[in-house]
Structure formats: C-alpha cells, structure tokens
Chains A and B, each alone.
Chain A
C-alpha cells in the first residue's frame, strides 16, 4: 500500500518510471475487470490502455491508498462505454447483446483450445460473476478487496465466486479439460 502511495505521488509529479510501475503492478487486475465486462481479449486490452491513460489524467482525484479500486472503477466505466457503443453500432437492444461481447478472436488455432474453451465458458457467466472469478482466481484478490471494489458484501462476493466456479466447471467438463480444471 505504501509503495503504491509513493508511486501515485511520484506519478502525479510526472515521473514516468513510477507510472510504469503502477501499470505493471495493476495491469492484471485491470485486465480481469475489462475482460469480464467486454467479454473478449482485444476490447479488454483497449479498455485497459484507455483506463490507465484516463487514470493518469485524473490522478489528482485519486486517494493514493485506494488506487486499485479507483482504477478499476475507471476501467469498468470504459468497458461499459465500449459495450454501449457496440450496442448502438449494431442496433441491438440490451437484452440482445451477448454479455460476452463480440467475438473478435481468430479461433481456436491461434489462441489455443483451452483458452477458447475458457472464453466460451466465461461468456455464459454474468459480468459480475466473471469479474469476481477473474479477480480472485486470476489476479489473486481477496474477497474483502473484491467486495470493496464491487461495492458488495464479502458474503455476496463469495457467493458469486462459488456460482461462477460451479457454472464454469459444468460448462467445461470435457474430458480434456477435467485434469486442467482439477
């Protein structure tokens, strides 16, 4: 926390190395959130990039001790904007929009069967379930941190995680994935 506070203060002064450290240290969490909300890798990467730049521009508004949660709020807003834009572009109603977003991947051969299977499985979860799952199982956040970031109780965060894992295991219960998913 202290390290992040110092990095934020140095980045506020225009220190590029400090900002880069912030990017490297929080990239995975930002990606997890963006990935959960956009539903695909390319949009998630774009959202994360925009999110970090937006965060830099508004760094003076940030409580340095709460940088991670503040950053994820920015990323979340950017991801919602992209989804809204996509909805307007395609003319689809809210109900019609695939929660996973458009599939902009090049298929199983490029990304690997396992990754594609995970993408397809994640697409069946709700955005909140995806975000909780990715922040916990990919980024290693604790329930308390996830609950604070998503403005929910720890019990609710645990519940979302439980449901997400259960659903993903059901969806990915192919023989070749059983060993991988333990």
Chain B
C-alpha cells in the first residue's frame, strides 16, 4: 500500500492568512446574533436560578404559616367546633344556631323556631 502522503498544501484554506482572516471574520459577524441570543437566554435562566432558592424559602415559610393558621381555625372535633358564646351573641346569632352551622347536624324547622324563640 502506498503510504506516501500527498502534499496538498496548495489546497490549504489557511495558506493565505488574509483570506483566512476575512473568512473567520465573516463567520464571526454572522455568529454575533446567535451568540448574543445565547448570552441573553443564559442571563434569563441565571436570573431565575438566582432567585429560585430565596423564592423557594419564602414559599416554604408561607406554606408552614398557612398550615399553622389552618390547623388553628379548623375544627379538630365537634366540641372544638362549638363557637364562643360571646361571639355568636355579639353578631346576633343564637348560640344553638351557631352550633348547627359548624356541625353536620341538620335541625328541624321546629328546632329552629324554638331556638329563635328562646333567644327572644
């Protein structure tokens, strides 16, 4: 097998430095826009990345606070669901009616009538 390398330097595109530099310059001119787009995209991703951890921490804190509040206001048992007598009275709702509102119990018409009669 013929292992002698052919000298193809006459075809070397970098042989003429000026022409090569012009060609590289043209490629870089055309590349300016895609490169700028990449930097912009990276910058946007960077902003999100930069704020990701603080936002996550705030969201977690809010979630914990919300759970705490919900735990406090949610009735844990029928007994706990009974409203404070003072509050029901203050807004003009009979205590018995307020108890029905937060419980699953459905009063009869007679019971409702009796409750309002007792209040008066």
Contacts and interface: CB of A to CB of B under 8 A. Distances in A.
B6 A137 contact: yes
Contacts of A24: 24
Contacts, number: 97
Interface stretch (A12-20, A63-71, A84-92, A101-109): A12-20
Contact of A28 (B2, B14, B26, B32): B14
Contacts of A134: 8, 11
A45 interface: yes
A166 B10 contact: no
Given A14-B42, A56-B34, A115 B11 contact: yes
Interface in B1-45: 1-2, 4-14, 20, 23-24, 26-28, 30-32, 34-42
Interface string A36-51: 0000010011001100
A168 interface: yes
Interface residues of B, number: 31
A19 B35 contact: yes
A138 interface: yes
A23 B27 contact: yes
Interface residues on A, range: 35 or more
Main secondary structure of the interface of A (DSSP, over half): helix
B31 A19 contact: yes
Nearest to A12: B38
Contact of B14 (A27, A114, A180, A182): A27
B10 A114 contact: yes
B70 to A, nearest CB: 44
Interface of A: 11-16, 19-20, 23-24, 27-28, 31, 35, 41, 44-45, 48-49, 52-53, 56-57, 112, 114-115, 118-119, 122, 133-134, 136-138, 158, 162, 165-166, 168-169, 180-182
25 contacts: A12-B38, A14-B36, A14-B38, A14-B41, A14-B42, A19-B35, A23-B24, A23-B27, A28-B13, A48-B23, A56-B34, A56-B35, A118-B8, A118-B10, A119-B11, A136-B5, A137-B7, A138-B8, A162-B2, A165-B4, A165-B6, A166-B2, A180-B7, A182-B6, A182-B7
